Amino acid sequence: MTEPAQFETFGPLVEKIEIKGQNLLSINDLSNSQILDLFELGRRLEPWNRSVINLLPGRVLATLFFQPSTRTRLSFETAMHRLGGAVLTETTPLISSSAAKEESLDDMLRVVSKYANVIVLRHFDDVEARRAVASSEAPVISGGFGQWEHPTQALLDLYTLWRIYGRVEGLRVCIASTDLNHARTGHSMAYGLARLGAKVTLASPMATRTPDEVLAKIGSLGASVDEEFDLEQDSFNDLIYDMDLVYLPGCSAPKGPEAEAFKLTMEKYLVRHETLQRAEKEGRTIYVTHTLPRRQGEMDLAIDSMPSELYFKAIAFSVSIRMALLVGIAGLEDAPQTSLVNPGV
Ligand code: CP
């Protein structure tokens, strides 16, 4: 049972968000005001992101990860523990669950949703995952679906930006990658930034630009982004010099004969620490974040110890915003009885 004082403190904001029982498969499943209310709830929960606040006692989170993960799975699990809930985890479902015996994802979700109050699912096939979610009796949060979207990574990166600047609107952000076509985090972040009023530039090779479907959706949501193609390292660093944030969603590197060409393209999108230092001398910070994991050669590691570094600072924020999301979706229990009188007397 949620304690009365905590219910009074958090109940009105949790109810205002109005996401109880809802799935979160795309960042576009949240309205702008829901995102901003989640930020406010996340900020209020930050004092407990290294301890415990019993807002979800007795609730169970199941994490079903069909692809490897460090951050997404462990931060959701940390968030649930910090909220006083319990966690079931399946990290290798194709080996250790009945998915290995060809049980369908539909049946797995139907069954697990009878154990858990909330499910976080990461899956390699976004079409299958989006369809199968309908079989779940518990709300499902995407932990990354195929190459489609990774909404909670975007949510935590937007939250980090909001905590640093106090706003997202008007910020200049460059999302850069050798492959924005397959960058699920890049897609979710482009939606979120553009919708919240940031000035977004998407930098990638023309051949691997952001999918038309994502650009069309951004337009249909009344937002816009710019694109820059086929930059060299100098012109890329000139571009980011005017930015408040450089967002690096990373991408899978090809193996075999394409690997060398990919590495050369990757070098063109290298954020040089000299570029960031030049801005520092002018008294401003160009923040750099990477969704991680990062590969060797993908980043200038000198950035790790510069004020621009945001990718490790975001880790602590990720727990708070995922706590907010779990509370919003699981919902607080009804107002606890404050009377000590036995109602049966
Ligand atoms: N950023 C991210 O999704 O990391 P993991 O793959 O470790 O969860």
In degrees and rounded to multiples of 5, residue 95 shows phi and psi of -110, -45
Q: Which ligand 1 atom is nearest residue 70's CA?
A: 7
Per-residue pLDDT at 250: 79
Taking the centre of ligand 1 as the mean of its atom positions, its distance from the CA of residue 10, in whole angstroms, is: 29
Taking the centre of ligand 1 as the mean of its atom positions, its distance from the CA of residue 137, in whole angstroms, is: 26
The finding on whether 72 has its CB within 6 A of some atom of ligand 1 is: yes
Per-residue pLDDT at 156: 98
Residues linked to residue 142 through DSSP beta bridges, in sequence order: 121
Per-residue pLDDT at 253: 79
Rounded-to-10 torsion of CA 177, 181, 185, 188:
120
Taking the centre of ligand 1 as the mean of its atom positions, its distance from the CA of residue 316, in whole angstroms, is: 14
Q: Is 100 helix (H, G, I), strand (E, B) or coil?
A: helix
Q: How far apart are the first and last CA of the chain?
A: 22
- State the Cα–Cα distance between residues 210 and 18, nearest whole angstrom: 31
Nearest residue to 59 via CA among 76, 41, 40: 76
Q: Enumerate residue ranges in the chain where pLDDT < 70.
A: 1, 334-345
The finding on whether 289 has its CB within 6 A of some atom of ligand 1 is: no
Q: Which tens digits make up the pLDDT trace of 110-126?
A: 999 999 999 999 999 99
Strand 86-90 and strand 60-65: pairing? parallel
Helical spans, DSSP H, in 83-204: 93-96, 105-115, 126-132, 151-165, 184-195
Per-residue pLDDT at 52: 97
Taking the centre of ligand 1 as the mean of its atom positions, its distance from the CA of residue 153, in whole angstroms, is: 8
The finding on whether 63 has its CB within 6 A of some atom of ligand 1 is: no
pTM to 2 decimal places: 0.95
Taking the centre of ligand 1 as the mean of its atom positions, its distance from the CA of residue 143, in whole angstroms, is: 8
Q: Which ligand 1 atom is nearest residue 67's CA?
A: 6
- State the Cα–Cα distance between residues 219 and 17, nearest whole angstrom: 25
